Amino acid sequence: MTATDQLSSDRQSKRFLYLYALAVSGGSVAYVPFLTILLPNQATMLNGTAALELLAHIAFAGAITASFANILFGWASDKTRNRRPWIAGGLFLSCIMLPLMPLATDATMLIFMIACWQFGLNMMLAPLAAWAGDTVPDAQKGFLGGLLAFAPALGAISGALITFPGLASDSGRLAIVSALVIIMVSPALIVGRPKKMPHLIGEGQKQDATYPQPEYNRSAVAQMWSARLLVQIAEASLFAFLLLWFRSIDPEFADNDTATIFATVLCAAVILALLIGRWSDHSNRPILPLTICALVASTGLIVMAISTTLFAGIGGYFIFGLASTVFLSLHASRTLGVLPAPATRGRDLGYFNLTNTVPSIIMPWITLAMVPVYGFNMLFLLLAILSACAAILLAKMPRRPAG
């Protein structure tokens, strides 16, 4: 076998990578429009002026359930050594639960149904994330990270689609979301046939000059986990309170304007993530783009902190939004390269998922306590420091910590 043939045999088919990215995007569509648009509407109908309190309790219960379920089903898919049945089961359960949400007649019932839905959703998401570790070699993880940037963008686009005036009732919108998720996730399960990568699942100990076996260490795992947590804290804070900040600068700023900014940033991030991901693959520098993105995100937050005009504020958010979105997309794929063992990949990714859920639990309360006293400017400076700390953590990692 020639070197070229060897390289080709060690690369996953692009067809599967595209189908996998579509499935992950389906996971984003499963929760983005529901949590950002449809659920707040239902909470308002149930609790009226107390909707914010209800949403806070829903966010807390949902995050706790998601944290537990993600670890549980990641572990379960490790034990069975088969990701597909768990993904399919979670797809079925979560898509059944969504259209049933309007049946909730009080806050307690709604919270319970949200917990059940999160249970099913993470039954799908946990093994889906681990499936990439089983099938995608390190030399393609940058490209995969770029493809994963489509997920938040398509999640935002789906929200705009289902809320098109006159398209459907609230229950009809939820049914449309379920249908979209099934359409996006099913192809990878039904016709996705990834090339087998025995060395990625611990079968055999293949070593060659192109893909040496990685040397894992606890320090690399802790640095990657901590860096993502720090950036996610900033992202979660702005996701919840960006509109309020814009209106503190310009009271006439509309929610549609915020949605437009979100969508523009996410779409631009797709192109940027693909370019940077490919570069990191070819240059064999998986961590450097993450370090730079964390620094740029910190710079964007500083711009926001010192902004006194709407134009400057939007510019600062564009800098932060692009950098943080690219960071989170590339980080999701690069994490697979530092996990300690293929046999516990799903469980370990469940622990990494805590970096997504923990900020959603704590940051809204911290923001509500901090902003009235110190203002948004001090909050943004704090978040900028956290993002800079993430960059420092990543800069201290080896040039290539894993294969």
8: left (phi over 0), alpha (psi -120 to 50) or beta: alpha
5, part of any domain: no
In angstroms, rounded to a whole number, what is the distance separating the alpha carbons of residues 150 and 154? 6
Q: Are 122 and 70 in contact (CB under 8 A)?
A: yes
Same domain, 115 and 247: no
Buried residues in 273-285 as b, exposed as e (16+ CB within 10 A)? bbebbeebbeeee
Same domain, 334 and 255: yes
Same domain, 56 and 108: yes
Same domain, 125 and 230: no
Phi and psi (nearest 5°) for 223?
Answer: -65, -45
In angstroms, rounded to a whole number, what is the distance separating the alpha carbons of residues 13 and 247? 47
Same domain, 164 and 259: no
With cut-offs at 50, 70 and 90, classify the pLDDT of residue 255.
Answer: low
Residues in the chain: 403
Tokens of residue 24, six digits: 């992950």
Buried residues in 109-128 as b, exposed as e (16+ CB within 10 A)? ebbebbbbbbbbbbbbbbbb
* Domain harbouring 261, CATH code: 1.20.1250.20
175, part of any domain: yes
Helices 345-395, 218-249: inter-axial angle, 10-degree rounding: 70
What pLDDT does 208 receive?
Answer: 38
DSSP three-state, residue 148: helix
Please write the tens of the pLDDT for every residue from 38-69.
888 888 888 777 776 788 788 888 989 999 99
Give the DSSP H or E segment for 107: helix 107-135
179, part of any domain: yes
What pLDDT does 2 receive?
Answer: 44
Burial class (CB in 10 A: 0-12, 13-18, 19+), 45: exposed
Helices 14-33, 84-97: inter-axial angle, 10-degree rounding: 30
Domain region containing 367: 218-395
Same domain, 180 and 247: no
290, part of any domain: yes
Same domain, 259 and 357: yes
* Domain harbouring 46, CATH code: 1.20.1250
What pLDDT does 205 receive?
Answer: 47
Same domain, 386 and 241: yes
361, part of any domain: yes
Query: Per the structure, how many domains does the chain have?
Result: 2
Same domain, 170 and 51: yes
Same domain, 40 and 163: yes
363, part of any domain: yes
- pLDDT over 60 at 403, yes or no: no
378, part of any domain: yes
Most confident range (mean pLDDT) of 72-76, 258-262, 279-283 is 72-76
With cut-offs at 50, 70 and 90, classify the pLDDT of residue 256.
Answer: low
Tokens of residue 290, six digits: 């993450």
Give the DSSP H or E segment for 353: helix 345-395
Please write the tens of the pLDDT for every residue from 195-246.
988 888 876 544 434 434 444 467 888 899 999 999 999 888 776 677 778 8
Same domain, 33 and 176: yes
197, part of any domain: no
Same domain, 234 and 110: no
